[in-house]
Amino acid sequence: MRSHVLTFASLMFFSLLATGQNYQAVYPDKENCFLMGNDNVICLRIDSLSEATTTILHPSRISLNTGDYCSSPFEGSWIGKEIEIRENGENVFINHADTPVTINTQAIEGEEWVAYEVPGEMEIRATVVAHDLMDFLELTDSVKTIAFQAYDAGGDPLDMEVNEMQVQLSKHHGWVQSLNFYFFPAHQQWYPDMKLRQLSLAGLSEPQTGITNLSWFEVFDFQPGDVLHVLQENGTWIGEYDGEFHTTETRNIFEYLDRMDFDGDSIMYSYVRTRRIHYQWMDSVAITLDTLSQTIRPYADFDKLPLEPGSGNEDTHDAEMYSFFHLIKDEFLVKTNCYNLYYRGEDDCWHALMVDVVPSTNSFYEGLGGPYYPQEAMFGSLVRRELVYYQKDGQTWGTPLDVSSVESFVKPDMVKIYPNPVREAFTLDIDPSLSGEFSLRLVDVNSRNVHQQKVSSGATTINVSHLPPGIYFCIVAGKQGVIHSHKLLVR
């Protein structure tokens, strides 16, 4: 039996090494995503092609730095302005200087060719240094590894960064490891984001595996039973040099009840929102419990590839401004918008316009919603919105928010409830120092008001014999908001 297994494995290996296919680097029907070595994800899609003896592929455009503090939304893709797929197996990438970078996909192990040259000055030779079966993204395929070496006009080796880089090309799926050929072999290296880099394949659309571009509906992909706890702060500066922020802290718990999908056009959710608002400058707290609905509709700019120009302009050539999102691989995919707008200047030079807004960065998490942003302050405003806890797909993370207790703002002995648990009636005792009229609400676990009445300071008997056994929230509020909230068990 073992000999049969070994024979099958050998046949598979030699079959994959056969030259029946040309190891094409880029395919029109695939959308690939790559990691840039710092958790930033960049993707590649072919927007159009023209076929003749040489097939010309036109990759999706991104915002590219072109030098002298200029950018361009239509210069091309990170992988090149265009890609030529020639019948002899050569894949040619046109770089920032309109110079070809040639990858010979038909080359065998040990074969060398000129990948790039500046006549009379230098050339870069490429060599297939390995040809093996490789596992990547839960796939197995034959992969060629290609290395580079730069030489001067006299044939002596040059010390260039590209000498330390390699690419890997699989037989059926294109690049496993690529370079951003737009910047090949070097382009104004004093700008960090304008350097030649190695990129590792992180995901494929055909077959779908690994990381794919994060869409708006994937951000808001909730299921019944999902729970999110979100902490939010908003503040306004009051006074002058000796002033202070008047800050409102809002604690939200979202518990999703139901979901309806409408032909991929929208998603409608119903959910329970428990909200606790603390007006910190006057020690006032308000608690609400509501059943709400939300409809998620398409957001075309968000669905574009990372760094792909957006802002609602179908043709960037006619636009005056554009912006884009970044995609980051973390515990889950994160898409961010840094509020950078690029505006058209002279000679199609686009300049970054930093917009002074708070927050300066919005983040959206895969399956966990958004926007979220850490605490920031600017021009008299203070904001913060963070996901601090979730229950999703049987997993939990973070520290749950307390939205029912206000003991930290009202002394525990100022409002008393007894007995608890209760069968027929309980006593609500409000300290006489808390003068005025108050409202009492009992809310069940489904966010419904089951009992409400006016009360005053002193002892008041509340009859609950009409309520079915269960857990309720007892909420006491005055003119300044909620002064007491506590769980009540009715037996």
For 227-339, list the strands marked E by DSSP: 227-238, 244-262, 266-279, 284-296, 321-322, 326-329, 333-337
The residue assigned the tokens 């706890």 is 229
Bridge partners of 12? none
**CB < 8 Å & 24+ apart, contacts of 187-192:** 187/67, 187/95, 187/96, 188/67, 189/161, 191/65, 191/67
**According to the 3-state scheme, what is the secondary structure of 350-419?**
EEEEECCCCCCCEEEECCCEEEEEEEEEECCEEEEEEEEEEEECCEEEECCCCCCCCCCCCCHHHEEEEC
For 298-349, list the strands marked E by DSSP: 321-322, 326-329, 333-337, 340-344
Type and span of the H or E element at 103 = strand 100-104
CB 456 within 8 A of CB 438: yes
Q: Is 422 exposed, middle or buried (0-12, 13-18, 19+ CB in 10 A)?
A: buried
Higher pLDDT, 25 or 438: 25
The stretch 301-330 carries a mean pLDDT of 81
Residue 42 confidence (pLDDT): 96
Domains of the chain: 21-207 (no CATH), 412-490 (2.60.40.3080)
Give the pLDDT confidence of 404-417 residue by residue, as tens digits. Answer: 754 444 455 678 88
The residue assigned the tokens 């840039």 is 36
* Degrees to nearest 5, angle at CA 487 with 484 and 491: 135
Amino acid at 335: K
**What one-character-per-residue DSSP string does 108-139 give?**
PTT-EEEEEEETTTEEEEEEEEEEEEEEETTE
Evaluate the omega torsion of the peptide bond into residue 207 and state whether it is cis, within 30 degrees of 0.
Answer: yes
Give the pLDDT confidence of 318-328 residue by residue, as tens digits. Answer: 567 889 999 99
61 pLDDT above the threshold of 60: yes
- pLDDT band of 65, cuts 50, 70, 90: confident
Among 132, 173, 171, smallest CA distance to 21 is for 171
| Alpha-carbon gap, residue 251 to 257, rounded angstroms | 19
The stretch 299-320 carries a mean pLDDT of 77
286 pLDDT above the threshold of 90: no
- pLDDT band of 130, cuts 50, 70, 90: very high
Write down the pTM of the prediction.
0.76
The mean predicted confidence, pLDDT, of the chain is 86
104 pLDDT above the threshold of 70: yes
Type and span of the H or E element at 300 = helix 300-303
Tokens of 460: 């008041």
317 pLDDT above the threshold of 60: no
Give the pLDDT confidence of 132-186 residue by residue, as tens digits. Answer: 999 999 999 999 999 999 999 999 999 999 999 999 999 999 999 999 999 999 8
| Alpha-carbon gap, residue 195 to 186, rounded angstroms | 6
| Alpha-carbon gap, residue 296 to 311, rounded angstroms | 19
Residue 443 confidence (pLDDT): 77
342 pLDDT above the threshold of 70: yes
CB 351 within 8 A of CB 342: yes
Residue 14 confidence (pLDDT): 40
